[in-house]
Structure formats: structure tokens, C-alpha cells
Amino acid sequence: MSSDRTDISPEVLSLCELADAAQHTVSARTLVETSLKAIKEASDFNGFVRVHEDQALVRVQHLDQLKRDGNPCGPLHGVPLAHKDMFFQAGELAECGSRILAGCRPNHTATVLQRLEQAGAVNLGALHMAEFAMSPTGFNAHLGHGRNPWSNAHVSGGSSSGSGAAVGGRFVAGALGSDTGGSVRIPAAACGVTGLKPTQHAVSTYGVMPLSPSLDCVGFLAQTARDCARLLSVVSGPDSLDPACLASRPQNYESGLERPLTTADVICVPHFSSNAPLTDEVRALVEQAEEDLAKAGATIRRVALPDFSEAGSLATLVLGVEAASIHGQWLSKRPDDYGNQVRRRIQRGCLYPATRYADALRLRTQYQARFLREYLDDGCALLLPVLPCAVPTIQETIIGSEQDIEARFGNFSYWTRGINYLGLPGLALPAGVTTNGLPNGIQLVGRPFSEAILLRLGHQYQRHTQWHRRHPRMK
């Protein structure tokens, strides 16, 4: 077993490639030390809020000994990961990007973290996030802005800001995030990585700080669709600790990825009219992705342009009410410990009539059925943008009044927020570069529990493109 390879890092290899190397020729210590070295040397990287170096080095010593003793390696053996600072681990800090939970050490561990550890993964630390996961740009009034690994003057996307940046900068091979209105897919697109938002309640959320339980999803960020398939495979399955989890059994999502696309694989693509909320250069990226999917063998079918305004508004209402319920006691006792934007959004949730909230929940299945009928019909997936524009600078997102900033937040998550209300899975894929030199992406949206289909489409798309292999040079 070699332990002196210098080309073994997330910069060179994907998560699955690293795991395969660790199972055969490379030590877990080499993989983890390579990532830790990169994190230390990146002086301008603010993606981590805490690095668990000592724990990680103890962990790899154990993993390497298991391997030397002839024990089978798990599917993530030795792979360096890090996670949004809202996944609880017993005895470890989990502050959720806030002052409210400063110093909080939960006494229980998230199911997804337990399953990643059982698979052999190594947790390198906690990642930057928007305060209580309430910003699509990565804004945090306490920690500073999430910064893009391609340009620290630009946003990283949020609220899983550190997850997108840490994977995009190739400091770790993968990361957990949460997606309540786009918070995995937006940073994935902004940082040039792959991001998977599963079907609502498909993955256990036990031990994860809630924002809006009716919308929250645990999601994954990694370099490739195959990487996301492996992460989802590891954490999939029912969880007695989370009664809302709908998974009936574990599943191997890597199985079937290599099956080529055929004319039976129908991708529905909207007619993007001139008044659609996206810029011309983002529209061009979507059109190029359409061509690439067709070259990969898929059939393209035209559909009408979905209007996400109403679904997005209903998602905002549901999030506001549920967040207000969760934060009510803190909000009344410690209002000044919230950032202004977060406090305003939570307070607004206290003002929605109960009848409007009840209607939003009651109408949800009807909206989903109509959406599937009108825009997916017999299709495998719907091709959409993730972002409406090129990745903005931080300055561009904070100018103007509080109302201006909130309106900008709403526009930024236009293409993602309604998908959470509909409860559908979405896979964000790197799809090109805009004129500002930063990455951007597309998303494939599917029917409930169609993750295997989306991941196969994404994998075949990435066999015909190389956008997922690009990465910045961090200093």
C-alpha cells in the first residue's frame, strides 16, 4: 500500500476515483493529509468554520489499520468530506451560521453522518453557511459572505455556501448540504460542481437543523453525478428516528449509470421566451446542454415554459410560517442576535394567516400533479436553468434597501424554489462559463423518486462534456 502519492487529491480525482484508489493502492492518511494541506495553504478561503484535523488523523489511522488487517473497505473508505454546519454530531459544535446557537453541542448524531462514517468517509470539518440556511447567495451577517472559489469577490451561492465552495475549490471530494429552496443546486451551479436535491423526505433529516420541514431536503455536492450517486446510495434507506422519511429500502444508485441514452430517454425542454427570467448567456448555456444531451442519445421534446411565480410564492409562505414556528421562542427573547435579513423574514412568517398556510399545504399535491402532467408527461426529466443570470459579485447582492436585497434573493432562486414546493428531485450539473469567467449550470428535474433516472442522465451528459472537470487554482 503506497502512502506517498502526490497526485491523489480532490483536485485530481473525483470522489469515486479517490475511494477506488483508497481501497487498493493508497492510504486513507494520504488522502486526508493532502486535503488538510490544501485547506491550510488556501489563505483566502473562508469555506470552513472549523477544521477537525486531530479527529480526522485519528480516524484515518483506524481506517488504515482495518485495511492492513484484511477487513473489507467501505464504499467511501478514506474519502475526505466536510459538511454544512447544521448536521449534528454528538459532542461537536453545530452553530448553523448563527449567534443563537453559538457554543451548541448536540447530544445526538445525524443519521446521514452515521451512515457516511459507516461507509468509511472522513469528516474534515464544518462548512460556512448562511445564517440558519436563509440566503440563496451565501450572505451571513455574522460570519461574512460565502465566497466563490473562482473569485472571492463573487458569491458562492447559498445557503450551502461552504459546501459548494469546498467542493468547487477541490478541498474535499464531497459535502452534505440542505436544499429548502435551492440551497444545494444554487451553490453547485455557482461553484461549478454537481448537486443533487432528492425527492422530499427521500433521505432522513434526523439530526439536521430544520428550516422548513415541509420543504427541507438533505442534499449532496460533489464533482460528478456518479459521486452523488454513491453518496446517495450510502445514506439511502428508512430511518426509524425520522418518521417522515419515505424511503422503504437502501438502493444502489450507481447501478445502471453506464447504460447509454436512447430515444426512449425523453428530455422535456421549455420554449424559453424573451421575457423568461434568465439572461441571454444563461439561455445559451441551457441550449448548449440541450444539444449535448441530444448528442448523448436523448430525445428532446418541447414543452411550454413553466411559470414558477405561484409555486415560489407558496414555498415562501410555507417556509416563513414553519421557520417562525421553529424560531419563535428565540425571536421573542433574543431578536438582536439575528441578522437583520433573517430576523425580518422570520418575523414576516408570524404574520401569515393560518388559512393561507393550510391552503398552501392542501393544494400542494394538486400543483404537483398538474406540473407533472403539463411539463413532464412521458418525459424522463425537465431541463431548466439553475440561476437566472451569471454569478453576481457580493457587492451586487447587498446594495440598496432591505426590500431590494430580499427581492434580489427571490429572483436569484426563481428556478429552484418552486421545485421544493412541488417536492420533486433536481440534479444540478456544471454546464459552461459566463462572460465573467465563472461557472454556471443547468438542472434536470424529475418525477418523485426518479433520482436513479436523473443520475444516469447526468452521468451520460458528463461523459460527453468536461465542465465538471474544471476547477480553480486556489492560493
pLDDT one-digit tens code per residue, 186-232: 999 999 999 999 999 999 999 999 999 999 999 999 999 999 999 99
Give the per-residue pLDDT at 4.
42
Mark whether 3 is an active-site residue: no
pLDDT one-digit tens code per residue, 152-187: 999 999 999 999 999 999 999 999 999 999 999 999
Mean pLDDT of 293-300: 98
Mean pLDDT of 20-37: 94
Q: Is residue 30 part of a domain?
A: yes
Set 9, 35, 84, 236: catalytic member: 84
Q: Is residue 359 part of a domain?
A: no
Of 380, 391, 390, nearest in space to 427 by CA: 380
Quickly state the pLDDT bin for 17 (edges 50, 70, 90): very high
pLDDT one-digit tens code per residue, 300-309: 999 999 999 9
Q: Is residue 360 part of a domain?
A: no
Give the per-residue pLDDT at 273.
87
* Total count of residues recorded for the chain: 475
**Cell numbers for 433:** 462559463
Q: Is residue 323 part of a domain?
A: no
Give the per-residue pLDDT at 95.
98
Cis, bond preceding 159 (omega within 30 deg of 0)? yes
Q: What is the dihedral of CA 70, 76, 79, 82, to 10 degrees?
A: -140
Average pLDDT value for the chain? 95
Structural domains in the chain (count): 1
Beta bridge partners of 115: none
pLDDT above 70 (res 3): no
CATH of the domain at 208: 3.90.1300.10
Set 161, 183, 233, 413: catalytic member: 183
Query: What percent of the chain has pLDDT above 90?
Result: 92
Q: Considering the entire predicted model, what is its pTM? A: 0.97
pLDDT above 70 (res 475): no
Which burial class, exposed, middle or buried, applies to 348 when counting CB atoms under 10 A from its CB (0-12, 13-18, 19+)?
A: middle
Mark whether 159 is an active-site residue: yes
pLDDT above 80 (res 318): yes
Set 27, 98, 159, 178: catalytic member: 159
Q: Is residue 314 part of a domain?
A: no
What is the extent of the structural domain holding 461? 15-306+370-469
pLDDT above 90 (res 355): yes
Q: Is residue 350 part of a domain?
A: no
Beta bridge partners of 80: 122
pLDDT one-digit tens code per residue, 219-265: 999 999 999 999 999 999 999 999 999 999 999 999 999 999 999 99
Mark whether 135 is an active-site residue: no
Least confident of 7-16, 293-302, 345-354: 7-16
Give the per-residue pLDDT at 315.
98
Better-predicted residue by pLDDT, 12 or 379: 379
Q: Is residue 281 part of a domain?
A: yes
Q: Is residue 184 part of a domain?
A: yes
CB hemisphere CA count around 74 (13 angstroms): 21
Mean pLDDT of 335-359: 96
Least confident of 163-167, 381-385, 471-475: 471-475
